[in-house]
Amino acid sequence: MTPLSLPRLKLPLGVQNLREIREGGHYYVDKSGMAVDLVEAGKYYFLSRPRRFGKSLLVDTLKELFEGNQALFTGLAAESRWDWSKPHPVIRISFSSGSGPQGRLLAQRIRENLRVNRVALGLPLPAGLPEEDLAGNFADLIRQAHQSRGERAVVLVDEYDKPMLDHLTDPAVAQTQRDMLSELYGTLKDCDEHLRFVFLTGVSKFSKVSLFSGLNNLTDITLDARWSALCGYTDEDIDTVFAPELPGLDRDEIRRWYNGYNWLGTGVYNPYDVLNLFQKRVFGAYWFETGTPSFLVRLLAERKVFLPRLQALHTSLALLSSFDVDRITPEALLFQAGYLTIHDVRQPVLGKWMYTLGYPNREVEASLNEVLLPEYGVPGDAEAQERLTLILQRGVLDELETLIRSLFASIPADWYRSNPLAGFEGHYASVFYSHFAALGLDVRVEDATSHGRIDMAVLYAGRVFLFEFKVVDRQATGAALQQIKARGYADKYRARGEPIHLVGIEFGRVERNVVGFEVETVAAA
Average pLDDT over residues 216-233: 93
- Strands (E) across 173-285 are located at 195-202, 219-220
Comparing CA positions, the residue from 508, 8, 485, 482 lying closest to residue 246 is 8
| Torsion of Cα atoms, 71 then 74 then 77 then 83, to 10° | 40
Checking if the pLDDT of 3 tops 60, the result is no
Three-point CA angle 469, 472, 477, nearest 5°: 80
| Distance separating alpha carbons of residues 10 and 212, to the nearest angstrom | 40
**Bridge partners, residue 442, by sequence:** 459
| Distance separating alpha carbons of residues 122 and 95, to the nearest angstrom | 22
Query: Mean pLDDT: which of 36-40, 291-295, 471-475, 508-512 is highest?
Result: 36-40
| Distance separating alpha carbons of residues 263 and 222, to the nearest angstrom | 7
Checking if the pLDDT of 513 tops 50, the result is yes
- How high does pLDDT run on average in the chain? 88
3-state SS assignment for residue 105: coil
Q: pLDDT of 149-192, one tens digit each?
A: 999 999 999 999 888 888 888 888 888 888 899 899 989 989 99
Three-point CA angle 381, 387, 390, nearest 5°: 150
Backbone φ, ψ for residue 52 (5° rounding): 55, 40
Cβ count near 175 (within 10 Å): 17
Checking if the pLDDT of 2 tops 50, the result is no
Query: Mean pLDDT: which of 209-218, 338-347, 450-459 is highest?
Result: 338-347
Range from 73-82, 139-148, 485-494 carrying the lowest mean pLDDT: 485-494
Checking if the pLDDT of 5 tops 70, the result is no
3-state SS assignment for residue 518: strand
| Distance separating alpha carbons of residues 21 and 58, to the nearest angstrom | 12
Average pLDDT over residues 57-83: 98
* More confident of the two residues 317 and 39: 39
| Distance separating alpha carbons of residues 505 and 476, to the nearest angstrom | 9
DSSP letters, 305-334, are: --GGGGGSEEEEHHHHH-EETTEE-HHHHH
Average pLDDT over residues 429-439: 85
| Distance separating alpha carbons of residues 294 and 302, to the nearest angstrom | 12
| Distance separating alpha carbons of residues 500 and 368, to the nearest angstrom | 28
Residue-level pLDDT at 422: 53
* More confident of the two residues 291 and 189: 189
Checking if the pLDDT of 1 tops 50, the result is no
| Distance separating alpha carbons of residues 337 and 173, to the nearest angstrom | 21
Sequence letter at residue 404: I
Checking if the pLDDT of 4 tops 60, the result is no
Contacts of residues 121-128 at CB distance under 8 Å and 24 or more positions apart, as own/partner, are 121/89, 121/91, 121/145, 121/148, 121/149, 122/148, 123/148
Percent of the chain with pLDDT strictly greater than 70:
92
Give burial (CB, 10 Å; 0-12/13-18/19+) of 23.
Answer: exposed
Checking if the pLDDT of 68 tops 80, the result is yes
Three-point CA angle 166, 171, 174, nearest 5°: 45
β-strands 341-349, 352-358 pairing: antiparallel
Residue-level pLDDT at 424: 58
C-alpha distances (whole Å) from 252 to each of 29, 338, 343, 437, 458 are: 21, 21, 19, 19, 19
| Distance separating alpha carbons of residues 38 and 42, to the nearest angstrom | 7
Checking if the pLDDT of 111 tops 50, the result is yes
Residue-level pLDDT at 205: 81
Checking if the pLDDT of 327 tops 80, the result is no
For the chain, the distance separating the N- and C-terminal CA atoms, rounded to the nearest angstrom, is 48
- Strands (E) across 341-451 are located at 341-349, 352-358, 442-449
- Quote the DSSP letter at residue 113: H
Give burial (CB, 10 Å; 0-12/13-18/19+) of 171.
Answer: middle
**Bridge partners, residue 503, by sequence:** 467, 519
Note the helical H segments in 232-289: 235-240, 251-258, 271-280
* More confident of the two residues 167 and 241: 241
* pTM attached to this predicted model: 0.89
Helix axes 55-66, 32-41, angle to 10 degrees: 70
CB distance 135 to 187 below 8 Å:
yes
CB distance 106 to 180 below 8 Å:
yes
Confidence of residue 429 (pLDDT cuts 50, 70, 90): confident
